[in-house]
Amino acid sequence: MTLDQARKRHAELVREIRMHDHAYYVEARPKISDREYDRLFQELLDLERQFPELVTPDSPSQRVGGQPLEGFRRIRHRVPMLSLEKVRPADHPTRAEEPDDALRKQRQDQNTLNELRSWDLNLRKQLRLDRLEYVMEPKVDGVSISVHYEKGRFVLGVTRGDGTTGDDITANLRTIRSIPLALQIQDPPAHLEVRGEAYMALKDFEALNRQLESAGEEPFPNARNATAGTLKLLDPRLVAQRPLRAVFYGIGHCEGIEFRTHAEVLQSLRRFGLPTQPEWWLCRDMDHLLEIYRREVVADYREEKDLRARLPYEIDGVVIKVNDMTLWPRIPAKARAPGYAIVHKPIHWIEPAETVLKAITVQVGRTGVLTPVAELEPVFVQGSTISRATLHNEDEIRRKDIRIGDTVVIRKAGMVIPEVVEVVKSKRPAGTRPFDLFEHVGGRCPACGGPIAREPVSTGEGQEVAWRCQNVAGCPAQKVRRLEFFTQRKALDIEGIGGIVAEKLIESGLVDEPLDLFELKTEDLARLNLGTEEAPRVFGEKNARKVREALERARTLPLGRWLFALGIPNVGEVTAHDIASFHEDLESVARSPLLQGVVRLEELAREAEAVNPHSRKNPPRTEAERRRRTEQYEALRQEAERIGRELIEAGFARPAARSGEGGFPACVTKVGPVAARSVLEFFASPAGKRVLQRLKTLKIHPRGARTAVSGGPLAGKTLVLTGTLSSWTREEASELIRQAGGHVAGSVSKNTDYVVAGESPGSKLDKARALGVPVLDEAAFRKLLVEAGVLKDSAQTTGQRYGGGSAQPELF
Ligand code: IVH
């Protein structure tokens, strides 16, 4: 594709994606399927990876996250972010008294509702008013955020923090597609701070956990926790991969805009293109509010219909606010909470449920990890019937002493993935025994009967010990999970090969390993029986053709997607793309000197620690030993330093910013030693070698985002262009840098190696100076290009432009 074609396609993609973002996140009326959207977005990313000069600050791709941060800047809130008082919880009667469930709940709730009436009465007395209007809205169980728009442009995003000061999480919030980067206002106010909640929609949260689990990582206990954990990540690229959303319900510091009522705020935010809650009620007075509450919020205490079941996110109560904002300053506040608003939590919303643990089954994941699952006596909890719950792992079962036959307390962690909170010991039947996973599965993998062993596995939080099926190549459960992983969206995006289809493909023997898909005959796939022998249900012609098309598309996907799809342990999406951007193809990854360097550095650090002459744990005992160890240590240090320098030169590492960062010697590599080792081991293994061989036979050659030039002054360097150069357009200069093995970035950070400044440079130059980034003028830049071997020599090229098309005189 030429640059011109790329630019045109890029503009189209940007326009379409923006329109779909609004339709999906704000209007909640998507116009295309998630899959189609993802395809557009992926196309944009792939395009920008190839042509970095197309990246603009408000390209939707900028939501994919920028450089990792060292830490968050602290920001003081101009208007403090307060919390809310709860309606005083009244004593509620014990549960068993009322046989009718709905009536019992109503009676329990009545006490707190009476408190709400007296709150209203008090307020009216203080304000000397007969009647007060209220807005009632769901209390979102997410993480509070504050987002600042200056002249309609998103400029700052902050956490609540302690209410007075929060963390600057702008880079992370920019990745949330439901937060517009520009407001839809003709004449935007000088400043508008909006406040709301970041959250994960329940279905997205479930999918995230499934994905973490299938990657052998620890799932999050609930959606709120997942949201909070995600917003704290220092790498916005990771944040961008998590399905965060936001809703807004209020304002903070404003200039050039005023609101009279809270209802007006909610309506205006919506009009500005900000996501607000789909349901909220303006109530004439407290009687009216309680009427709506009974009908709409708790649905006469019949849980199937209550508000929680209608919303895509979790809520843990309703917030009631005085509508007239001009009254707010007249209502005395509590220590940390305003007087004009209050939270009410229906009692039955906080109740956990009890049920009996009938059995424990064991599931086998992609990497063979065995996960115990609780099979429960079905019980209705918070809107749906639960019959299974995760037990995480054997240690968790031991810690909680969960036994088959126990009565257990179930909570929907995140209201979707249920978990066993605790055992009701008093109800334990006689004859139960502590759970032992090995014994439970008869010492064999429940899917293939193969041997199992207890091994360290890496989870989201680090290492953990788990039982694992050792029959990596032959276990059908692992094969199914690998196939699902390979075809998932973020990998090769082959729609239609998930769940039952994957199972049947493996079961029928049509597919044994993911690459078999490419040799599968469309007819065979069409005939695949997804049902039973008695009641057959075939996959079908049309679906098979779709899979075929997706497979064709997959053949040319970039290296990063393929590297991820292979499901190499410890290689997540970001790592895969990082590695891909430094390599040409899978062969060069397989024998990568960069990855070998990373692994060697870690070995050297370990060896050095063992001989460290200053070790406190193991000091030298004799002078001779001290001398010998000093020498050994020095030799190791020198080797490490040399490797570190090479990695830094190649752009695959940076010098550590702080002492202690990056260990021995100080350098921080792009990819850590665990992932690097894992990749090299994979390609050295018979399975990895087979993959390389088969790809060759299949004529699939995934290419890196760029062809790396090894060596030369610009190889692996990151450059930023600012101002106008006399010899080349920005695109031409970018192309030259790429040819020299460098990257072009859109903005200056501490990871920038050079800023190239032409005529009338912009603020990037100031930033470069502030950060101490070396600045090149045109002559110096030209010299480096010549040294890098992409320009013949400076005399010949002065004043010439290469045409970008066929005539490129100065380019080799
Ligand atoms: S209004 C002065 N409305 O609940 C505080 N807060 O416990 C005004 N929250 O930190 C907040 N949903 O993050 C308001 N519809 C809603 C809310 C809501 C959730 C959170 C908010 C606040 C916390 C207070």
User: Which pLDDT tens digit goes with each residue over 397-425?
Assistant: 998 999 999 999 887 654 456 888 889 99
Same domain? 296 vs 368: no
Domain of 527, in residue numbers: 476-554
Tokens 């052998």 map to which residue? 216
Report the alpha-carbon distance of residue 420 to residue 723 in Å, rounded: 61
The string of pLDDT tens digits covering residues 491-550 is 999 988 988 999 999 999 999 999 999 999 999 999 999 999 899 999 999 999 999 999
Residue 805, pLDDT above cutoff 80: no
Q: Worst-scoring range by mean pLDDT, 358-362, 380-384, 668-672?
A: 380-384
In 313-390, where does DSSP find H-type helix?
347-350
Same domain? 425 vs 490: no
How close is the Cα of 113 to the center of ligand 1, in Å?
20
pLDDT of residue 459: 60
Tokens 């903005």 map to which residue? 747
How close is the Cα of 83 to the center of ligand 1, in Å?
6
Average pLDDT over residues 553-582: 90
The token duo for 18 is 């923006």
**CATH number where 512 lies:** 1.10.150.20
pLDDT of residue 413: 52
- Residue 443 — pLDDT band, cuts 50, 70, 90? very high
- 518, burial (CB in 10 Å: exposed 0-12, middle 13-18, buried 19+): middle
The string of pLDDT tens digits covering residues 252-304 is 999 999 999 999 999 999 999 999 999 999 999 999 999 999 999 998 888 77
Q: Cβ contacts of residue 202 below 8 Å, gap of 6+?
A: 223, 312, 313, 314, 414, 415, 416
The answer to whether position 720 is within a domain reads: yes
Same domain? 161 vs 283: yes
Report the alpha-carbon distance of residue 553 to residue 559 in Å, rounded: 13
pLDDT of residue 708: 46
Pick from 536, 588, 537, 519: which is nearest to 559 by CA?
A: 588
How close is the Cα of 193 to the center of ligand 1, in Å?
15
Same domain? 342 vs 370: no
Starting at the earlier edge strand, list the strands of the sheet with 244-255. Answer: 153-159, 143-150, 191-200, 244-255
The token duo for 71 is 């830490």
φ, ψ (nearest 5 deg) of residue 551 = -65, -40
What single DSSP character describes residue 24?
Answer: I
* Residue 334 known to be catalytic: no
pLDDT of residue 361: 96
86, 105, 125, 139: the active-site residue: 139
Torsion angle of the four alpha carbons 531, 535, 536, 542, in this order, in degrees rounded to the nearest 10:
-80
Same domain? 644 vs 718: no
Q: Cβ contacts of residue 541 below 8 Å, gap of 6+?
A: 526
What single DSSP character describes residue 52?
Answer: G
How close is the Cα of 188 to the center of ligand 1, in Å?
25
Which of 36, 64, 92 is a domain's end point? 64
- Beta-strand ranges (E) seen in 559-609 are none
The answer to whether position 122 is within a domain reads: no
How far apart, in Å, do the first and last CA atoms of the chain sit?
20
pLDDT of residue 217: 82
What single DSSP character describes residue 89?
Answer: P
Give the count of domains, the chain. 6
Same domain? 241 vs 229: yes
Report the amino acid identity of residue 568: I
pLDDT of residue 807: 27
How close is the Cα of 333 to the center of ligand 1, in Å?
15
**CATH number where 768 lies:** 3.40.50.10190
pLDDT of residue 28: 78
Hey, whose CA ends up nearest to atom 16 of ligand 1?
A: 139
pLDDT of residue 673: 93
pLDDT of residue 174: 93
- Count other Cβ atoms within 10 Å, centred on residue 5: 10
Whether residue 443 contacts residue 364, with contact meaning beta carbons closer than 8 Å, is answered with no
- For residue 160, give the ligand 1 atom closest to its CA: 10
Same domain? 392 vs 541: no
φ, ψ (nearest 5 deg) of residue 373 = -125, 135
**CATH number where 26 lies:** 1.10.287.610
> What is each CA distance from 263 to 85, 279, 341, 427, in whole angstroms?
21, 12, 14, 50
How close is the Cα of 249 to the center of ligand 1, in Å?
8
How close is the Cα of 250 to the center of ligand 1, in Å?
9
- Quote the percentage of the chain above a pLDDT of 70: 91
- Residue 88 — pLDDT band, cuts 50, 70, 90? low
Residue 795, pLDDT above cutoff 70: no
Pick from 81, 82, 88: which is nearest to 345 by CA?
A: 88
- For residue 82, give the ligand 1 atom closest to its CA: 2
pLDDT of residue 119: 95
Hey, whose CA ends up nearest to atom 17 of ligand 1?
A: 139
Average pLDDT over residues 538-566: 94
Which of 301, 317, 349 is a domain's end point? 349
Whether residue 114 contacts residue 199, with contact meaning beta carbons closer than 8 Å, is answered with no
The token duo for 155 is 């400029």
Same domain? 535 vs 642: no
Same domain? 717 vs 795: yes
Q: Taken in order 203, 204, 207, 212, is the CA torsion positive or negative?
A: negative
Pairing of strands 775-776, 462-469: unpaired
The answer to whether position 464 is within a domain reads: no
Omega before 80 within 30 of 0, i.e. cis: no
The answer to whether position 105 is within a domain reads: no
Q: Cβ contacts of residue 316 below 8 Å, gap of 6+?
A: 139, 141, 345, 349, 350
Residue scoring higher pLDDT (578 or 170): 170
The string of pLDDT tens digits covering residues 738-787 is 778 777 777 888 888 999 999 888 888 999 999 999 999 999 999 999 88
Pairing of strands 407-413, 353-364: antiparallel
Mutate-to-test residue for ligand 1 from 84, 274, 320, highest number of ligand atoms within 8 A of CB: 84
Q: Worst-scoring range by mean pLDDT, 15-19, 285-289, 382-386, 606-610?
A: 382-386
The answer to whether position 78 is within a domain reads: no
Whether residue 387 contacts residue 373, with contact meaning beta carbons closer than 8 Å, is answered with no
How close is the Cα of 84 to the center of ligand 1, in Å?
6
Tokens 């009436």 map to which residue? 117
Residues lining ligand 1, Cβ inside 6 A? 82-84, 137, 139-140, 144, 160, 197, 249-250, 319, 338, 341
Please count the helices (runs of H) and the strands (runs of E) in the chain: 28, 23
Residue 713, pLDDT above cutoff 80: yes
Same domain? 239 vs 301: yes
Q: Bridge-partner residues for 193, per DSSP?
A: 148
- Quote the percentage of the chain above a pLDDT of 90: 58
Average pLDDT over residues 43-72: 82
pLDDT of residue 733: 85
The answer to whether position 366 is within a domain reads: yes
- Provide the 3-class DSSP secondary structure of residue 387: strand
The token duo for 654 is 């940076």
pLDDT of residue 384: 65
Average pLDDT over residues 577-593: 91
The answer to whether position 482 is within a domain reads: yes
Same domain? 496 vs 593: no
Give the CA angle between residues 676, 680, 684 to the nearest 5°.
165
Q: Cβ contacts of residue 667 below 8 Å, gap of 6+?
A: 601, 644, 647, 648, 653, 654, 655, 656
Same domain? 667 vs 748: no
Residue 580, pLDDT above cutoff 80: yes
User: What pTM value is reported for the model?
Assistant: 0.52
Report the alpha-carbon distance of residue 306 to residue 293 in Å, rounded: 10
Q: How does the average pLDDT of the chain come out, rounded?
A: 87
Torsion angle of the four alpha carbons 288, 290, 295, 300, in this order, in degrees rounded to the nearest 10:
-150
The answer to whether position 724 is within a domain reads: yes
How close is the Cα of 469 to the center of ligand 1, in Å?
47
Pick from 17, 23, 13: which is nearest to 273 by CA?
A: 23
Mutate-to-test residue for ligand 1 from 79, 134, 139, highest number of ligand atoms within 8 A of CB: 139
Pick from 241, 453, 436: which is nearest to 367 by CA?
A: 453
Which of 650, 665, 697 is a domain's end point? 697
Average pLDDT over residues 467-492: 94
- For residue 141, give the ligand 1 atom closest to its CA: 19
Report the alpha-carbon distance of residue 763 to residue 724 in Å, rounded: 13
How close is the Cα of 79 to the center of ligand 1, in Å?
14
How close is the Cα of 409 to the center of ligand 1, in Å?
29
pLDDT of residue 145: 98
Average pLDDT over residues 670-694: 95
φ, ψ (nearest 5 deg) of residue 562 = -65, -45
Q: Worst-scoring range by mean pLDDT, 140-144, 347-351, 511-515, 695-699?
A: 347-351
